[in-house]
A = this chain, B = another copy of it.
Amino acid sequence: MMERRVPPEADQESEAAAHAPDPWIGAPRFPLERLAAFVVVLLTAAGLPPDEARRAANILVTADVRGVDSHGVARLPYFVNRLRRGLIDTAASLRTLRETPATLALDANNGFGLTLAAAAMERCIAKAETAGVCLTTVRHGNHFGMAAYYALMAPRRGLGGLAMTNASPLVTPTFGTRGMLGTNPLAVAVPTGSGDEPPLVLDMATSAVAWGKIEIARRAGEPIPSGWALDEAGQPTTDPWAARWLTPLGGERATGGHKGYGLGVIVDTLCGPLAGAAWSARVSGSRGPDQPAGIGHTFMAWRIDAFRDPEGFFADLRAMLAELRGTPPARGRDATGVLVPGDPEAAAEAANDRLGIPVKQAVLAELRVLAAELGVPFDLDNSTPR
């Protein structure tokens, strides 16, 4: 076998992608308003009050607009399922447990995750506008969708923002054989002060790859690279059908996997024990028993002018981003040139604003079933002009 200078992961992934049927083939595009209106109908039929349904629809569709379709309308079956099983209290609102001028501890009382997370981040931002910074915890929460949505609420008001959540267990600790942590994502968003440069936004799970990459390999009938996943018995596997747990960001210990694991532990410490929420393997999800998720979130917002003149910050930040994008690029069929966090999502947003939001046929099929179950008209048939 020849020595390979390129790690096998990179090659195998692109080979798998090359052989996989493209899930975007035949995906119709919808205007934002039409897609959102359908989501409102679904969520209202599932029991969510109309105001909350509208807000939740906006949050979900924003993920699709940004190309993060894993956290968009494709998640509706999960949300509707939990609503219909009474696992979420649609009448709940935020309760303040503790408050200082710069901190806030909230209880979401097992209310709908998307809307109460947005309400919590709003309160966090409002306090930061007065105090300079605010750190906010939320207990008894539910799945809040795309973390970047909440972080990005801050730059819209000129502040920096951070959003974190824990989640049901899927990621193994370093040298462990069972998933003990959620993908525990963190998102940070910072304003750039320019309409030409969207906010800098990082939104990352603390696992090496998303579960969706396992699903792509399953559909393609291709092996997954060693190091992505473990099987039920906790053994490394390259068989996507045997994959049960994900490895932390960094993969094996030798390539820094203990750092990704450590980040996941810190996210859980803030969202679980500090918030007074469930933690680690105690968080309930779609694979667990019929009980409230017990998820916790942590949010933060900070004023730029608490630290320096915002114009100076914006100029320096934009120069830094330009210099990073100007790094001499690698060549290779996978190379995209050097981007900064948020560039792929901003490009998707620009295209989808113009052309409409694409929805995969597989997702449309699930939404059609969901509409039938809820007894509402399916309003997204494929004959829609793109």
Taking beta carbons and an 8 Å cutoff, which residues of A are in contact with B?
1, 4-7, 9-10, 12-14, 97-98, 100-103, 105, 131-135, 137, 160, 172-178, 180, 188, 190, 200, 202, 204-205, 207-209, 225-228, 234-238, 249-256, 258-263, 265-266, 268-269, 272-276, 279-281, 302-308, 312-313, 316-317, 320, 323-324, 327-330, 334-341
Contact = CB atoms under 8 A, between A and B. Distances in A.
Nearest to A181: B324
B190 A327 contact: no
Identify the interface centre among A133, A265, A276: most chain B CB within 10 Å of its CB. Answer: A133
Contact of A238 (B1, B5, B10, B200): B5
Contact of A266 (B12, B261, B341): B341
A137 B178 contact: no
B249 A307 contact: no
Contacts of A173: 324, 327, 338-339
A175 B337 contact: yes
Given A254-B10, A272-B316, A312-B276, A236 B133 contact: no
Determine the main DSSP class of A at the interface with B: mixed
Given A9-B254, A98-B307, A265 B324 contact: yes
Contact of A341 (B227, B262, B339): B262
A324 B7 contact: no
16 contacts: A4-B226, A5-B235, A7-B227, A98-B308, A100-B306, A101-B102, A173-B327, A176-B328, A177-B328, A177-B329, A190-B266, A202-B265, A225-B254, A250-B256, A250-B260, A274-B308
B1 A1 contact: yes
B208 A263 contact: no
A234 B6 contact: no
Contacts of A1: 1
Copies of this chain assembled into the complex: 2
Given A9-B252, A102-B102, A173-B324, A132 B135 contact: yes
A276 B308 contact: yes
B133 A103 contact: yes
A190 B275 CA distance: 14
A266 B132 contact: no
A200 B327 contact: no
A100 B131 contact: yes
Contacts of A280: 320, 323-324
B102 A137 contact: no
Contacts of A327: 172-173, 176-178, 180
A159 to B, nearest CB: 12
A320 B135 contact: no
B133 A269 contact: no
